[in-house]
């Protein structure tokens, strides 16, 4: 193996730059060259690339986002798009490819290897933390810290006016951001995609809330069946017209910001292990960290969504929110 390619694909997440840096510098230390492609699979299709050096990844470990930029590539879903990507892989004489992204990115990587026998390793880059095969994905720790920081500020104004705040966080298919940030911020309730009937349970819970707390925080994952923060707030207002209910949708601030120290360390380890995995002949697998040890999970297993949340975390939230 002499030359590898590198892309960041799908939604961006804090820590991707730290992983890019680790991949490039580890590869160089092993005598490999690295070609980075801009905008994920679109860059492979358009042959939009840059040769990455140790200097080109200097001073990026602390930056959010990705210097290689990212995209979701509808064109790569077509056979024509994949064949163009393969042609450019051949043109650059790539022996391996590292993909930093989420489940859609790994499905794309598997499809690519069906057409061309290149070794591919994935690094889990998604704030949702919903991939099987790693305790934490790149971006998750920073995202939940961003949410907790925002909710701490929201709590200040909620306390001043005795308000209920319904805070919507990202999580189209998973409630992991909502769950941990709810515990970390002292929220009173969560609504998440993994559970049914949350809104009805919330209304019942509100009836029993003690009056010694002047503010209440309700955390809603965007993919919850209730329809998001706006619908939840409107429902509460209808049931309890005397309550002062406000809405805060945090949106894409959760994707940005400087990665936390733990994020940088985990992303650096994953980039390091990804290069070594290629050199060891591994392919079609995602690098993960489980109990602080490296793991290798086949793409077909890594993309499966985690349907059950940690019951202990759910119990802790329920006990501490009373």
Residues labelled catalytic? 128
- Spatial neighbors of 291 by CB under 8 A, at least 6 apart, are 135
Burial of 160 (0-12, 13-18, 19+ CB in 10 A): exposed
Length of the chain, in residues: 322
Contact 65, 12 (CB under 8 A): yes
**Which residues does residue 34 pair with via DSSP β-bridges, in sequence order?**
4, 52
Q: Which two tokens stand for residue 129?
A: 């933390």
How far is residue 110's CA from residue 227's CA, in Å, rounded to a whole number? 33
Other beta carbons less than 10 A from residue 308's beta carbon: 7
Contact 109, 50 (CB under 8 A): no
Contact 116, 86 (CB under 8 A): yes
How far is residue 130's CA from residue 11's CA, in Å, rounded to a whole number? 13
Q: First vs last Cα of the chain: how many Å apart?
A: 58
Q: Which two tokens stand for residue 14?
A: 């804090």
Nearest CA to 125 among 146, 98, 159? Answer: 98
The full DSSP string for 133-178 is T-SS-BTHHHHHHHHHHHHHHHHHHHHHHT-EEEEEE--SS--HHH
3 state SS of 119? strand
Rg, the chain, Cα only: 21
Q: Which two tokens stand for residue 212?
A: 């010694």
3 state SS of 82? helix
């Amino acid at each position: 193996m002499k030359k590898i390619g590198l892309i960041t694909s799908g939604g961006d997440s804090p820590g991707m730059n730290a992983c890019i840096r680790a991949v490039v510098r580890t590869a160089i230390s092993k005598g490999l060259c690295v070609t980075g492609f801009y905008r994920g699979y679109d860059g492979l299709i358009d042959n939009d690339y840059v040769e990455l050096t140790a200097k080109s990844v200097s001073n990026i470990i602390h930056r959010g986002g990705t210097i290689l930029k990212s995209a979701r590539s509808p064109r790569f879903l077509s056979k024509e798009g994949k064949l163009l990507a393969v042609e450019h892989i051949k043109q650059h004489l790539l022996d391996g490819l590292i993909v930093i992204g989420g489940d859609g990115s790994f499905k794309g990587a598997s499809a690519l290897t069906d057409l061309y026998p290149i070794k591919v390793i994935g690094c889990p880059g998604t704030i949702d933390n919903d991939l099987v095969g790693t305790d934490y994905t790149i971006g998750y720790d920073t995202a939940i810290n961003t949410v907790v920081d925002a909710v701490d500020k929201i709590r200040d104004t909620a306390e001043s006016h005795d308000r209920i705040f319904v805070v919507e966080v990202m999580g189209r298919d998973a409630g992991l951001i909502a769950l941990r940030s709810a515990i970390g911020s002292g929220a009173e309730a969560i609504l998440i995609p993994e559970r049914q009937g949350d809104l009805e349970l919330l209304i019942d819970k509100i009836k029993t809330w003690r009056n010694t707390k002047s503010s209440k925080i309700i955390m809603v994952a965007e993919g919850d069946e209730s329809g998001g923060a706006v619908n939840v707030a409107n429902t509460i207002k209808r049931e309890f017209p005397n309550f002062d209910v406000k809405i805060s949708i945090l949106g894409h601030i959760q994707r940005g910001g400087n990665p936390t120290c733990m994020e940088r360390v985990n992303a650096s380890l994953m980039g390091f292990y990804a290069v070594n995995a290629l050199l060891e002949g591994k392919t079609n697998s995602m690098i993960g960290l489980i109990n602080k040890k490296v793991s290798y999970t086949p793409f077909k297993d890594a993309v499966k969504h985690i349907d059950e949340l940690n019951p202990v975390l759910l119990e802790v939230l329920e006990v501490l929110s009373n």
